[in-house]
Amino acid sequence: MGAVMGTFSSLQTKQRRPSKDIAWWYYQYQRDKIEDELEMTMVCHRPEGLEQLEAQTNFTKRELQVLYRGFKNECPSGVVNEETFKQIYAQFFPHGDASMYAHYLFHAFDTTQTGSVKFEDFVTALSILLRGTVHEKLRWTFNLYDINKDGYINKEEMMDIVKAIYDMMGKYTYPVLKEDTPRQHVDIFFQKMDKNKDGIVTLDEFLESCQEDDNIMRSLQLFENVM
């Protein structure tokens, strides 16, 4: 817009060569139009209005603008696929293997199971994890551990997540880590959470166990910190 106004001002002051000024303005207009069209073809998805996201999350409009700017810097197309998500996440854990945890985390973000995460998906999850209630955070964590989305957590699912977390943190964080440490961790969780001893943990059991046991809450907080 500034370029157009500058050219318009030039048209007013340079009356002696109007044809060249008009030709230059037309050239600038066509160039800007082509650039806009190229940008539109590169952007696969544009987010919902910030006012709507502000109403749906715990972020202010200004915070959403900052978050979107950062999201677009990493993902110019407006969406992120799993491979890109893994590459971004790996940067934060250079001493470990974050690929499997990033895989599980990506699918927790991708609530519609489309194979891509939009800005709306990202900011909604971030709002829960950073500013949600304890109940909201625990529900989101349950969904992360419920890998097959059948409404329950079994030992294999919890083992997969916990093992992925240990792999991600790396050997420098856990210098005395034994091979069976993740399994011991899972056994402790299940002993406390599986109230009726049927081999699975329901959402109600998960919520009740976490909120009544300070040790479990601290353990969960440790894993939330890797988010």
Q: pLDDT tens per residue, the chain (227 residues)?
A: 433 333 323 333 444 444 444 444 444 544 554 444 444 344 455 566 788 999 999 999 999 999 998 888 888 888 999 999 999 888 888 888 999 999 999 999 998 889 999 999 999 999 998 888 888 989 999 999 999 999 999 999 999 999 998 888 876 655 556 667 788 889 988 888 999 999 999 999 999 998 888 876 776 565 455 45
Say if 178 falls within a structural domain.
yes
Partners of residue 152 on adjacent β-strands: 202
Same domain, 186 and 209: yes
CA gap 79, 71 in Å, rounded: 9
Say if 29 falls within a structural domain.
no
Whether the Cβ atoms of residue 61 and residue 54 lie closer than 8 Å to each other: yes
**CATH number of 113's domain:** 1.10.238.10
Same domain, 143 and 222: yes
Tell which of 115, 132, 149 closes a domain: 132
Rg (CA), the chain: 25
CA gap 180, 185 in Å, rounded: 9
Same domain, 73 and 116: yes
Whether the Cβ atoms of residue 199 and residue 154 lie closer than 8 Å to each other: yes
Tell which of 132, 154, 169 closes a domain: 132
Range of the domain at 178: 135-226
Tell which of 132, 152, 171 closes a domain: 132
Q: Which two tokens stand for residue 69?
A: 């700017």
Number of domains in the chain: 2
Same domain, 218 and 139: yes
Whether the Cβ atoms of residue 93 and residue 102 lie closer than 8 Å to each other: no
